[in-house]
Structure formats: structure tokens, C-alpha cells
Amino acid sequence: MKFLYAAYAATWIIHIMYLTTVVRRYARLKREIEDLGGK
């Protein structure tokens, strides 16, 4: 059973890690837009 749970956990860890990179890029973009608006 440990391999089964490891596989399911690994799947969601990979997807969450990828989603985290997307969210971070959104945050960076938001800062860039704020900088542009401030000029």
C-alpha cells in the first residue's frame, strides 16, 4: 500500500509544485503592472 499512497501523493505534489510556479509568476506580473501604473 505504501507504493500506492506514494504514487498518489507524488502526483499531487508535482501538480501543486507546478501550480505554485504559475501563482508566483502571476504575483511577479502583478508587481510589474503596478510599477507600470506608477510611472
Residue written as cell 505534489?
13
Q: What is the number of alpha carbons within 13 Å of residue 15 lying toward its C-beta?
A: 6
The yes or no reply on residue 20 touching another protein (CB under 8 A) is no
Q: Is residue 29 near another protein by the rule CB under 8 A?
A: yes
Consecutive H or E run containing 17: helix 2-38
> Binders of another protein: how many residues, by CB under 8 A?
20
Under rule CB under 8 A, residue 22 binds another protein: yes
Which residue ranges make up the site for another protein (CB under 8 A)?
Answer: 1, 3-4, 6-8, 10-11, 14-15, 18-19, 22, 25-26, 29, 32-33, 36, 39
